[in-house]
């Protein structure tokens, strides 16, 4: 059939062209590079273009959105609130483009699929390596992208679709995310192997009075819960060292710098280098997997199942180690 329209009818029915030029992927990539690198010089190196070219691309992005994305403060580029809002969408778009590029490399079976996973440091060290090993055995052709981020950042990136799965400690603020419970475990006390308290099967808060204590950063939820326990019991510690993660705290304890209270999965990774003991009163940590609703992705489900299975193995191993320490205490 042959349909003919007058020029006026065609202009009325045809989709209207945007009043501004179409946004180009290269402009979005320049914005991402500048956010990651922090300077136009380093962003240019990431993109293999000149510094003026980066500046031009960023100016084009700002003109497209009609907002200022960066402010210059004391010689540094700082994202504006509008810029942060725009960048969240830009990162989501580029992540989808990255995934599409990876899928086109091999379209057979599952080989083209990519799964993006984010985990807070404790789970990234204590759980994810064994999950990746198990998952790679079952799905050797699937490409995995794994990143360590803060708990709040993981919530945000799962919500925008940058991560298919996020591994965190509860609670979370994002009400629309799907939670898959992993485990409820208790924080443990770690001590140098030759420490006098290592002879005890369990450590009470009062046992650590005046001990040199390795604290973690205040941005970590566990820090506040540990401080609350000692504060309620009026137990004073010698807070001589603060580190950014519980993994670093274990390193410091192994070096005989002090004692600490840490995530049990991290302690397991260091158990040959330090003494791991039950801590009283218990500080319960609830681990969970975050995902977005309505994503029945086969590979995502398989990764989630592998994580649940590996977490069960790790918690059994932890329970066995703690029971052994109690048996040794009984013999002593």
| Statement: residue 296 has pLDDT above 70 | no
pLDDT of residue 2: 44
Nearest to 328 by CA among 272, 261, 274, 277: 277
- Per-residue pLDDT tens digits for 228-265: 999 999 999 999 899 999 999 999 999 999 999 999 99
pLDDT of residue 57: 87
The more confidently predicted of residues 70 and 248 is 248
pLDDT of residue 105: 45
| Statement: residue 43 has pLDDT above 60 | yes
Q: Which residues, other chains included, contact 224 with Cβ-Cβ below 8 Å and sequence gap of 6+?
A: 218
- The pLDDT-based confidence of 22 (bands split at 50, 70, 90) is low
Whole-number Cα distances in Å, 200 to 90, 171, 214, 328: 54, 32, 20, 9
Mean of pLDDT values over 151-177: 90
Token code pair at residue 68: 């200022």
- The pLDDT-based confidence of 327 (bands split at 50, 70, 90) is low
- The partner residues of 259 in beta bridges, in order of sequence, read 213
- Asked whether 97 and 125 are in contact (CB, 8 A), the reply is no
Whole-number Cα distances in Å, 328 to 10, 47, 138, 205, 322: 87, 59, 39, 21, 10
Average pLDDT, the chain: 85
Q: What is the pTM of this model?
A: 0.64
User: What is the C-alpha R_g of the chain?
Assistant: 26
How far apart are alpha carbons 173 and 220 in whole angstroms? 15
How far apart are alpha carbons 214 and 59 in whole angstroms? 46
How far apart are alpha carbons 285 and 263 in whole angstroms? 8
Q: Are strands 188-191 and 114-119 parallel, antiparallel or unpaired?
A: unpaired
- Asked whether 182 and 289 are in contact (CB, 8 A), the reply is yes
| Statement: residue 107 has pLDDT above 60 | no
Residue 16 is given by DSSP the state P
- Asked whether 260 and 213 are in contact (CB, 8 A), the reply is yes
How far apart are alpha carbons 198 and 273 in whole angstroms? 12
pLDDT of residue 326: 59
| Statement: residue 332 has pLDDT above 70 | no
Nearest to 40 by CA among 56, 24, 23: 56
| Statement: residue 101 has pLDDT above 70 | no
- The pLDDT-based confidence of 96 (bands split at 50, 70, 90) is confident
Domains parsed from the chain with CATH numbers: 1-104 (1.10.10.10), 188-282 (3.40.190.10)
Q: Mapping DSSP to helix (H, G, I), strand (E, B) and coil, where does residue 228 land?
A: helix
Angle formed by the axes of helices 25-37 and 81-103, nearest 10°: 110
How far apart are alpha carbons 78 and 69 in whole angstroms? 8
Whole-number Cα distances in Å, 167 to 55, 117, 306: 37, 8, 13
Q: Mapping DSSP to helix (H, G, I), strand (E, B) and coil, where does residue 77 land?
A: strand
């Amino acid at each position: 059939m042959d349909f003919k329209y007058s020029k006026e009818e065609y202009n009325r029915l045809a989709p209207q062209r945007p009043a501004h030029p179409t946004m180009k992927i290269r402009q979005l990539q320049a914005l991402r590079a500048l956010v990651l690198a922090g300077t136009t010089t380093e962003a240019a190196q990431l993109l293999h273009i000149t510094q003026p070219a980066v500046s031009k691309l960023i100016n084009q992005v700002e003109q497209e959105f009609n907002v200022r994305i960066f402010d210059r403060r004391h010689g540094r580029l700082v994202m504006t609130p509008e810029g942060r809002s725009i960048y969240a969408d830009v990162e989501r778009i580029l992540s989808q483009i990255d995934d599409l590029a990876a899928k086109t490399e091999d379209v057979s079976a599952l080989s083209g699929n990519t799964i993006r996973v984010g985990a807070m440091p404790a789970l990234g060290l204590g759980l994810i390596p064994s999950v990746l090993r198990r998952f790679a055995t079952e799905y050797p052709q699937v490409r995995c992208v794994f990143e360590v981020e803060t708990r709040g950042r993981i919530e945000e990136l799962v919500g925008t679709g940058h991560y298919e799965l996020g591994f965190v400690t509860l609670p979370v603020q994002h009400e629309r995310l799907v939670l898959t419970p992993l485990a409820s475990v208790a924080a443990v006390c770690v001590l140098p192997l030759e420490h006098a308290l290592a002879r005890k099967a369990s450590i009470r808060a009062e046992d650590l009075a005046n001990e040199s204590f390795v604290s973690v950063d205040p941005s970590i939820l566990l820090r506040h819960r540990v401080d609350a326990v000692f504060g309620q019991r009026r137990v004073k510690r010698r807070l001589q060292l603060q580190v950014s993660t519980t993994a670093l705290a274990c390193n410091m304890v192994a070096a005989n710098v002090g004692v600490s209270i840490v995530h049990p999965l991290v302690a397991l990774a260091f158990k040959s280098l330090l003494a791991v003991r039950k801590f009283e009163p218990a500080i319960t940590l609830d681990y969970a997997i975050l995902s977005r609703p309505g994503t029945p992705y086969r590979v995502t489900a398989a990764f989630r199942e592998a994580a649940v299975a590996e977490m069960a193995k790790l918690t059994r191993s932890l329970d066995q180690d703690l029971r052994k320490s109690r048996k040794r205490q009984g013999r002593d």
